Amino acid sequence: MTGPLREREDAHALLTAEAERARAGAGRLVVLRGATGTGRSAVLEAAAAHAAHLGLRVLRARCSPDDSALPFSSVLHLLGSVPEFADVGPGDDDRGSAARLWRLLRSYADETPLMVAVDDVHLADEASRRWFVEAARRIDRLPVLMVATERSQYDIDPRPAGLTHSLSPSVVRTHTLAPLTDDASADLVRAAFPTASDRWTADCVRAGAGSPLLLHALLDDLDGAPPPTAVPRTCAALYPGSYPAAVSWWLDSAGPATAEVARTLAALEQAERSDRTGRQPGDQADRIARRDRPDRGETAGAADGAGRAEGSVTRNAVPGPFFVPVPGPAPFLDAPHAALTAADPTDPTTTTECATAATETATETAAEAATDTLAALVADASGADPARVSGWFTAMTRLGVLRPDPAGRPRYAHPLLRDAVLGGWSTARRQDAHQAVAQAMLRRGDHLDAVARQLLGSAPAGLSWALRVLRDAATVAARDARRGDAVRYLRRALQEPLPDDLRQRLLTELGSLEYASADTPAGIPRLAEALDLPAAPRDQVRTAIALGTALVGRGEVRTAVEVLRRLEGRLVGHPDLARALQTASALLSDQDQTVRREAYRWLTDTAERSPELVGASGQALLVRYAATAGDLPAQEAMRRLRTLLTEPADPLAEPFLLGTAAAVAQWADELDEAERLVERGLAGQRPTLLHPMEQALLDTRWDIAAARGAYGALLDALPGRARGRRTGGGPVNADAHTLLALVETGRTQEARRLADTFDLRDTSDSWELNRFLYARGVLRFTEGDVAGALHDFLECGRRQSARAVLSPVVTPWRTAAAECRLALGNPQEALALATEELRLARVWNTPRTTGRALRVLGRATRGRRGLELGAEAVAVLRDSPAEAELVASLLAHGRQLTAAGERGRGRDHLREGAERAERLGSVRLLTYAEEALRTAGGRRTTPAHTGSGALTGSERRIAELAAEGRTNTEIAELLHVARRTVETHLTSAYRKLGIRRRGELRGVLDD
């Protein structure tokens, strides 16, 4: 044999031996079987060349379906090419024609030993096939080697019996050509591209699917784009297109039913590519297959290549170890369970072997279930026999065309192969297939996501079930924070024929989701289009609020307010809806000081004339406005808000009321109540509708965590969300909290990098900018840039004052600026700032604001009066939740006492402050405390990290109540805190006390 063929040595040896046998006068039929593309023709040609080399005369015929209508056409093609017998032709009598052709063959054999090479004998006409079978029975005493190639691939439509079906094994030798192993395929790739990496080679091997035909075609196409150019994922990147042509021929040879199944599988798999969320469709096999994994077909080249970078490519192995979860308990109750129970429990070897066998059996069972489920789905969608589809999956997996995913489900070996399989379908046919698969999934009760992904590729058909599935899937995806999926589903739903009111609602949802997914340019036009469509007034209000929220996010505050006011003018007869729009206008105006003044002036005037026109939510905003303006004490503000919360509220207006009340409660140090209001407000938000209070509630949640000094929680939660709503590039509230938390925890370099991210010169005015200026001022002060810090604090104050925000409840810029003035040697200016802040703080009258102002004023006043103010600050903050402010006041007063000569009392304050700072996690305050102690000539005592002495006041109160036998719910009601707060404090107390059970509390607390 000339021209070495890879992994065909067995066939070469067989044909060589049979050729020698023919030379000795004993003939035989040899049938080379194999799937399409396994190289049957190449082996036959090599065998013919070798036979000619041995002196055999070679007669060749290549059968074709075009000649099937002409009897004996294949035999005539074989024998009629000899000039002296060119006039031989079939007569009316098949038996006579067969005999005459047999005599013709014998005449050839009388002259010289023969090799009769018949390619694709399965395509021969029936008369020729019968002649070949009969000849095989009679050539054993003739010097004739008859070699025929025959396709033996498993197809959806069963094929007729093969050539050897009626022959005795003694007169025929059959050899099946296996697909190429991965090692042999890799050798072919390296021979064509010697510099190819292992990863690139593995990618080619998978795309070749064990077929010499496909692999050679792929290498021909890649000749113009050798490595390191990536192996394409689509046929559009291939030139001249040998590979897709080879795949198309492979499908055509398999028949229309097989091609339909193959393409249906490809369409189903392609739809699953878009799923990057790890959602589990409803059936068991899908739950296994999609559990926390990417699409294997799409990432096979990268993942598998990486896995094989250090070693050879192995035969059709699934790369990397995968744990395949079992879909239910049943597999473990079958044979594996019997094996385990029958094993000797005292024999560790037996136990291990049984456990391994049980795992393997369970995995195989799960894989079989996954394959059967997929086969049933494909069969349903394509109209094929499920049993034949399942068998085809098995056959194609053995060939290498399909490879199992981690759940054992068959998938195309490479995305390029899948794309080539789909290439033979028109767009309309693909769309029909996706719809058929979606219908089949729906009938089986699959998960909404799975059905909806198929509908994404289908054409609009006006089917009610399709629209319902897409809408429901969008709702579920939005609820699960998979906005990208929800957007795709709604875009597809809008392609269906819809009435105007439904289109309006879907456009509103889609625009909201597009904006929330940072696709602002698409979201705003969608919302504007929705607002122009006829709809119920309540739906119009929802759309207007969503559009206004989006416009404000883009910095167009005045435009947003005008949109709401235009709609308000059309809501005659709907006072509740008009009030909701008024409240939304006031809230959205917070982003622009000029618009804000106008909005609150109108709201205030209206409330004075007719309070009922502004509603509960509008009155709540006025309470918040008065609180920030320094005109209302915290106790009165909370009294009014609690009264408003008891009034019936329209569902559209309730979020405004809850969000406003939560913000004021946080300022009033009612942190547990604020937290309950936040959670209640967020629970009422619709994930598919854009609403300004959603972000406001999230901002209040961050404010609550910061007020509690939960720096670790802030840093864990904020970075991924800090830029979720930013469209103009400016900082948001989350950035300010992140910056402050980084400073407090001693990570000033990270804080500096975050601060330098923003160029505040071009940032539009907003309360978030003011808060970030304050945070950056704290960073600059910590870094030693006192002048820069003072500039930030004063600029924050200037901007807040322009917005009529005078109270220190939002940002205490005056005391911060006063500390800068003290550091710069300007005590008189510091005294004026601190005095004004104390005046405003006493109006609001909460420990946090009052204690802070007293602390700074005490430092600015100095002398005996300064000591009194410092002591008052500590006393005011003792029972407040403002732990960080208490620590700062302890340290400030400790230094005051030390400077006044009361070193003992001063060191006590400094030590307490250091211990509290450490428990709080404030590296900045702890560093300050330790420096102050060294200056005072003292040392830190070892803090009590464990034992009853380590408990905070809140932890001790809750632990004592729990020790008395009270439940968590009772403790929460008694102390007016959230149950979660009780649980958190108890967990911390258990850890410090070294106990695990509630019953142990009394003993350790008594000690």
Bigger pLDDT: 308 vs 753? 753
* 144 pLDDT more than 60: yes
| Res 862: pLDDT | 85
pTM, entire model: 0.74
Listed range (246-250, 368-372, 644-648, 1003-1007) with the worst mean pLDDT: 1003-1007
Give the pLDDT band (50/70/90) at residue 229.
Answer: confident
Question: Distance (Å, rounded) from C-alpha 1003 to C-alpha 1007?
Answer: 6
**Cβ 567 vs Cβ 581: under 8 Å:** yes
Q: Helical H runs in 569-592?
A: 575-588
What's the burial of 140, exposed, middle or buried (CB within 10 Å: 0-12/13-18/19+)?
middle
Contact residues for 313 (Cβ-Cβ < 8 A; gap 6+)? 182, 183, 185, 186, 198, 201, 202, 205
| Res 474: pLDDT | 95
What average pLDDT does range 411-415 have in this prediction? 96
Instruction: Tokens for 380, please give them.
Output: 């349903």
**Cβ 367 vs Cβ 324: under 8 Å:** yes
**Cβ 283 vs Cβ 409: under 8 Å:** no
- Please spell the DSSP secondary structure of 207-259, one letter per residue: HHTT-HHHHHHHHHHHTTS-TTSPPPSSGGG-SS-HHHHHHHHHHHHH-HHHH
Residues 525-548: pLDDT tens digits? 999 999 999 999 999 999 999 999
* 277 pLDDT more than 90: no
| Res 29: pLDDT | 97
Question: Distance (Å, rounded) from C-alpha 925 to C-alpha 919?
Answer: 11
Over pLDDT 90: what percentage of the chain?
61
DSSP-based three-state secondary structure for 411: strand
Bigger pLDDT: 352 vs 547? 547
| Res 631: pLDDT | 94
**For all residues of the chain together, what is the average pLDDT?**
85
Question: Distance (Å, rounded) from C-alpha 347 to C-alpha 907?
Answer: 68
Question: Distance (Å, rounded) from C-alpha 501 to C-alpha 446?
Answer: 30
**Type of residue numbered 149:** T
| Res 221: pLDDT | 93
- Please spell the DSSP secondary structure of 714-768, one letter per residue: HHHHSTTTTTTT-SSS---HHHHHHHHHHHHTT-HHHHHHHHTT--GGGPPP-HH
Give the pLDDT band (50/70/90) at residue 505.
Answer: very high
**Cβ 789 vs Cβ 778: under 8 Å:** yes
- DSSP state at residue 178: P
Question: Distance (Å, rounded) from C-alpha 458 to C-alpha 453?
Answer: 9
Give the pLDDT band (50/70/90) at residue 368.
Answer: confident
**Cβ 469 vs Cβ 453: under 8 Å:** no
Residues 876-929: pLDDT tens digits? 998 888 999 999 999 999 999 999 989 889 999 999 999 988 888 888 999 999
Question: Distance (Å, rounded) from C-alpha 527 to C-alpha 541?
Answer: 12
| Res 218: pLDDT | 95
Give the pLDDT band (50/70/90) at residue 98.
Answer: confident
Listed range (8-12, 19-23, 351-355, 600-604) with the worst mean pLDDT: 351-355
What average pLDDT does range 335-362 have in this prediction? 48
| Res 34: pLDDT | 94
* 944 pLDDT more than 70: no
Phi and psi at residue 156, to the nearest 5°: -65, -45
Listed range (149-158, 253-262, 584-593, 991-1000) with the worst mean pLDDT: 991-1000
Contact residues for 651 (Cβ-Cβ < 8 A; gap 6+)? 684
Q: In this structure, how many other beta carbons lie within 10 angstroms of the beta carbon of residue 443? A: 11
What average pLDDT does range 492-514 have in this prediction? 95
Give the pLDDT band (50/70/90) at residue 947.
Answer: low
Residues 808-857: pLDDT tens digits? 999 999 999 999 999 999 999 999 999 999 999 999 999 999 999 999 99
What average pLDDT does range 761-772 have in this prediction? 86
Bigger pLDDT: 254 vs 942? 254
| Res 871: pLDDT | 95
Question: Distance (Å, rounded) from C-alpha 88 to C-alpha 111?
Answer: 19
* 341 pLDDT more than 60: no
What average pLDDT does range 10-24 have in this prediction? 94
| Res 322: pLDDT | 27
What average pLDDT does range 674-685 have in this prediction? 94
* 335 pLDDT more than 60: no
Q: Which residue has the tokens 């297939």?
A: 433
* 286 pLDDT more than 70: no
| Res 275: pLDDT | 54
| Res 340: pLDDT | 30
- Closest C-alpha to 115, from 15, 32, 12, 41: 15
What average pLDDT does range 933-941 have in this prediction? 75
Give the pLDDT band (50/70/90) at residue 282.
Answer: very low
Give the pLDDT band (50/70/90) at residue 311.
Answer: very low
- DSSP state at residue 67: G
DSSP-based three-state secondary structure for 446: coil
**Cβ 883 vs Cβ 710: under 8 Å:** no
| Res 605: pLDDT | 87
| Res 870: pLDDT | 95
| Res 946: pLDDT | 56
| Res 853: pLDDT | 96
Q: Which residue has the tokens 């809806």?
A: 577
- Closest C-alpha to 948, from 1003, 893, 886: 1003
What average pLDDT does range 338-358 have in this prediction? 46
* 370 pLDDT more than 90: no
DSSP-based three-state secondary structure for 354: helix
Secondary structure (H, E, C), 511-563: HHHHHHCCCHHHHHHHHHHHHHCCCCHHHHHHHHHHHHHHHHHCCCHHHHHHH
Give the pLDDT band (50/70/90) at residue 94.
Answer: confident
What's the burial of 193, exposed, middle or buried (CB within 10 Å: 0-12/13-18/19+)?
middle
